[in-house]
Structure 1
Amino acid sequence: MSSTPESRSPASRPSASKPALDTLVELLRERLPDDALIAEPSAAAAATRLWNARVTKRPAVVARCRTAADVQAAVRAARSAGVPLSVRGGGHDWAGSAIADGGLLVDLGEMRQVVIEGDEARVAGGATVSDVLDAARPHGLAAAVGTVGSVGFAGLTLGGGYGTLIGVTGLGVDNMLSAEVVLADGRIVTADPRHEADLFWALRGGGGNFGVVTELRTRLHPFATVSTGLLAFPWDQARSVLRGWRTLTAAADDALDVMFGAMSTPVGKVVFTMPTWAGDPDRAAAQIARVRALGDPVLDDVDRRALADAVHALDEAFPYGGEYRLGARMLPALTDDAIEAFVRAAEAMPGTCALNVHHAHGTATRAQAADAAYPYRDEHLVVEIIGSWTDGDGAAESAWVRDAEDLLEPYALPGGWANLMAPDDPHAPDAYGANTARLLEIKAHYDPDGVFTAIPLREA
């Protein structure tokens, strides 16, 4: 799972004045269809729904865009009126930073078209992971995607793009072929290796900091069906399972990805694995057996199934409209000390919370850090720390997220995956490492006024 880096307005930016909003509405009425504009406050609030129900910020005006021209009109109107804007794609923003409180929300929710062209897909800016997988499945294809279907595909890809095919497909940014972008001045450009090459480099990891991506092209792969599912082990086997995971993955085929984590189930707290084999189907049983042998499974649901179905199933684990606080740490390796920190964090974990760990390996580690804005190219682990609750104010769950981050911090890399960072995260200055200076130069060229501020991008 991952939160998407949709364009954000800085928290310090004040709400627009009433005269500015009146001007904005007047301009939008001239440029957009009547049913695309929501300016009545309660209606705008009702139309603003994010994955995390804890978010309370609301825009003053919503522009429901259906085309790149609509987005262009909305951006130009906001600039002319002096109103801050933000962009919602899939709506999977956990921190609420995708909402410019009292400003204009450029909503891409109706732009969900996916067109398959051979082994490529053209994906509109509001399409979700499930939209892409469902469109590619009849062709026997799949995209480099995450593990939850409701996440926005563009936001996931632009922020890096971890997923269970990572060993054979690489990161999402490695599969991005081009992007149609509405810039801060309202121009529409196409960025690819031959056109706006600096912008193309920056988008692949730097996310929505440079404009509104209204469409991207991505490479597809022949993995519509894989062997995948859940294997969970008793909690008293956690340390041995994780040490076994380390040994197994050190010599594993690129086609075997083994996510792991901790969660509470009807049979108690478990250490789980989610193996995915995207290789020769005749080798699947032997590969999954290696994972099964890590311990004594108490849950075993691995089978040959459509990747789209597997991703759909995980939507239920983290439903839209729940209350969440997320955190993360990025580990260079699963050392004995890191295992101990992980176990301690999990043992203190409230029952509604979870830990998910992605493993960057194989094809994802064969690019160079300077090839795209996303800098993490050595083998590593991303620990997602997911605080979730259904009752109360979430104080205990939020405190656990912070404590888990602190436990893992001594073993973590500087920076981290910006998709899971809040705008004020103290680790944000290190998120892009040696790529930071170039990103800031490109930002100054394409968005000198700071109209778009998506995932954290600032100097150390």
Structure 2
Amino acid sequence: MQSGDFGERLITVAGLLRVQLPPEMVVTEPSAIAALIRLWNAQVMARPSVVARCRTTADVQAAVRAARSAGMPLSVLGGGHDWSGSAVRDGGLLVDISTMRQVTVEGAEARVAGGATVSDVLDAARPHGHAAAVGTVSSVGFAGLTLGGGYGTLIGVAGLGVDNLLSAEVVLADGRVVTADPQHEPDLFWALRGGGGNFGVVTELRTRLHPFATVTSGTIAFGWDQARSVLLGWRKVMASADDALDVMFGAMHTPAGLVLYTTPAWAGDPGDAARQIAQIRALGAPVLDDVDRRALADTVHALDDMFPHGGNYHLGSQIVPPLTDDVIDAFVRSAEAMPATCVLNVHHSHGAATRVPVTETAYAYRDEHLVVEIIGAWFDGDGAAESAWVQDAERRLGRHALPGGWANLLARGDQRARNAYGINTSRLLAVKSHYDPDGVFTAIPLPD
């Protein structure tokens, strides 16, 4: 694009927006944009040329139509973690819905605006005795997490986030608004559940809630000399565990040294909680034991300080089958090479999430599996050592991984996206071609 053409497009799109939106909602001054766009991952350096700060679905419609009329690329910024930079396109129009965070609880359902975070939803549901299915860190965007699959503490009893989506309001590439649910736009509804925001701007979704506002949860950590034996014990316990017991695990450095941590959560009969948690304590000799009856929202908030907004991050991931000896070895070796500010975190897909037919939603991983998050983080320097470790750990675990990967944790251009949707790929791409033939929306990677 020639600079003159770009200047004309910028003038055109800004003019169109200012006809529809109040002046303060249209930002074009570079320094103002730089101050406004402070992403979770400070490593994302792309900057839009104009920002539309949307407050309503009508605002989003105006922004999408303006971008299309001016021939300017657009992207969408929600309220959570844009680790790979997909929410910002250099020189484009940013549709900023981060202030659209309203959550309305209606019985065992919640209406959630597109910019709301996991925290917004859990905090709104808590007084009603309910919780949502997704979330282990409260600052993650609820819509993006849900539509990309949606792992969470209640996965065994409530399934994935996509399994709890009831409907979605979507602004399409031509500016039209549709509601997708099982009766209306059923193909779009199917594709949203795993294909993420690749079909339009999701301005509101309706999700099922569950009566688990309070659970027995916390952290039990073990010294690293116990890591292999604890993981072998974890495998044995989880092979016959009740759906209501979820036990994430991981590795992190502490002032006392490297630890293998577990985060058990029991969402079953409170009277059985002590016995259930005792199974995890018995895996070794804990160096930290902080489990109690507490609000699920508080459990999720407890991890916020580990991943602060505006930090430096390089994320990797692998999806592996249930914990084999080879996977344990790869995990342990990766942790032992891990820089001090980095973390390994492992989600366990089990129970209700594994009983949904693979073709019912676009999300294709329905057998029991583990999602290993490889989180490179640093405060100072260029992050070269941390990024190298992420890549090494991803390769080491990749030798034992399933094809593809969780698209929410794949960067643009990652070739694993070709296999991320399995037998659902052809249908997903057909829906994409129908609803977004020009490829306007690129929220998470899709197959080529």
Scaled to the shorter chain, the TM-score interval is: over 0.9
Structure 1 spans left out of the alignment, 5+ residues: 1-11
The answer to whether the aligner puts 1:244 opposite 2:202 as a matched pair is no
Question: Are the aligned partners of 1:16 and 1:102 in contact in 2 as well (CA < 8 Å)?
Answer: no
1:174-253 matches, cutoff 5 A: 174-253=163-242
CA distance in 1, matches of 2:100, 2:42: 23
Question: Are the aligned partners of 1:16 and 1:84 in contact in 2 as well (CA < 8 Å)?
Answer: no
CA distance in 1, matches of 2:326, 2:417: 25
Amino acid of the structure 1 residue aligned with 2:261 = F
Alpha carbons of structure 1 residues 77 and 282: separation in structure 2 relative to 1, 3 Å: same
Partner of 2:427: 438
Tell me the percent identity. Answer: 74
CA distance in 1, matches of 2:412, 2:85: 10
Amino acid of the structure 2 residue aligned with 1:363 = A
Partner of 1:60: 49
The answer to whether the aligner puts 1:305 opposite 2:294 as a matched pair is yes
TM-score, normalising length from structure 1? 0.96
Amino acid of the structure 2 residue aligned with 1:225 = T
1:219-368 matches, cutoff 5 A: 219-368=208-357
Amino acid of the structure 2 residue aligned with 1:241 = V
CA distance in 1, matches of 2:422, 2:321: 15
The answer to whether the aligner puts 1:101 opposite 2:90 as a matched pair is yes
Identify which range, 345-354 or 15-24, moves more after superposition.
15-24
CA distance in 1, matches of 2:164, 2:59: 27
CA distance in 2, matches of 1:189, 1:75: 14
Question: Are the aligned partners of 1:16 and 1:103 in contact in 2 as well (CA < 8 Å)?
Answer: no
Question: Are the aligned partners of 1:258 and 1:275 in contact in 2 as well (CA < 8 Å)?
Answer: yes
Question: Are the aligned partners of 2:109 and 2:208 in contact in 1 as well (CA < 8 Å)?
Answer: yes
CA distance in 1, matches of 2:243, 2:5: 51
Distance apart, 1:109 and its partner CA: 1.1
The answer to whether the aligner puts 1:44 opposite 2:33 as a matched pair is yes
Distance apart, 1:91 and its partner CA: 3.6
CA distance in 2, matches of 1:303, 1:16: 61
Alpha carbons of structure 1 residues 89 and 287: separation in structure 2 relative to 1, 3 Å: same
Alpha carbons of structure 1 residues 269 and 16: separation in structure 2 relative to 1, 3 Å: farther
Distance apart, 1:15 and its partner CA: 12
Amino acid of the structure 2 residue aligned with 1:339 = I
Distance apart, 1:273 and its partner CA: 0.3
Report SS of the residue matched to 2:188.
helix
TM-score, normalising length from structure 2? 0.99
Amino acid of the structure 1 residue aligned with 2:398 = E
Distance apart, 1:20 and its partner CA: 0.2
CA distance in 2, matches of 1:438, 1:449: 17
Distance apart, 1:16 and its partner CA: 7.4
Report SS of the residue matched to 2:376.
strand
CA distance in 1, matches of 2:293, 2:160: 23
CA distance in 2, matches of 1:360, 1:214: 28
Distance apart, 1:310 and its partner CA: 1.1
CA distance in 2, matches of 1:456, 1:55: 17
Partner of 1:31: 20
Distance apart, 1:145 and its partner CA: 1.5
Distance apart, 1:69 and its partner CA: 0.5
Q: CA RMSD in A?
A: 1.2
1:277-334 C-alpha deviation (Å, 9 max, x unpaired): 0011111111111001011000111111111111112111111111000000000121
Question: Are the aligned partners of 2:79 and 2:99 in contact in 1 as well (CA < 8 Å)?
Answer: no
Report SS of the residue matched to 1:111.
coil
Distance apart, 1:97 and its partner CA: 1.9
CA distance in 2, matches of 1:110, 1:351: 35
Amino acid of the structure 2 residue aligned with 1:58 = R
Partner of 1:373: 362
Greater relative contact order: 1 or 2 (C-alpha under 8 angstroms, separation 6 or more)? 1
Distance apart, 1:342 and its partner CA: 0.5
Alpha carbons of structure 1 residues 15 and 277: separation in structure 2 relative to 1, 3 Å: farther
1:391-418 C-alpha deviation (Å, 9 max, x unpaired): 1000000000000011111110000100
Identify which range, 238-247 or 95-104, moves more after superposition.
95-104
Report SS of the residue matched to 2:197.
helix
CA distance in 1, matches of 2:140, 2:79: 6
1:439-459 C-alpha deviation (Å, 9 max, x unpaired): 110011000011011211124
CA distance in 2, matches of 1:250, 1:146: 23
Runs of 4+ with >4 A deviation: none
CA distance in 1, matches of 2:268, 2:72: 51
Report SS of the residue matched to 1:298.
strand
Partner of 1:164: 153
Amino acid of the structure 1 residue aligned with 2:77 = R
Partner of 2:446: 457
Question: Are the aligned partners of 1:167 and 1:362 in contact in 2 as well (CA < 8 Å)?
Answer: yes
1:162-220 C-alpha deviation (Å, 9 max, x unpaired): 01110000000000000000000000000000000000000000001100000000000
Amino acid of the structure 2 residue aligned with 1:453 = T
Distance apart, 1:249 and its partner CA: 0.2
The answer to whether the aligner puts 1:384 opposite 2:373 as a matched pair is yes
1:116-175 C-alpha deviation (Å, 9 max, x unpaired): 011000000000000000000000000012111110000000000001110000000000
Partner of 2:392: 403
Partner of 1:89: 78
Report SS of the residue matched to 2:373.
strand
Report SS of the residue matched to 1:56.
coil
CA distance in 1, matches of 2:375, 2:45: 19
Structure 2 spans left out of the alignment, 5+ residues: none
Report SS of the residue matched to 2:182.
coil
Question: Are the aligned partners of 1:16 and 1:82 in contact in 2 as well (CA < 8 Å)?
Answer: no
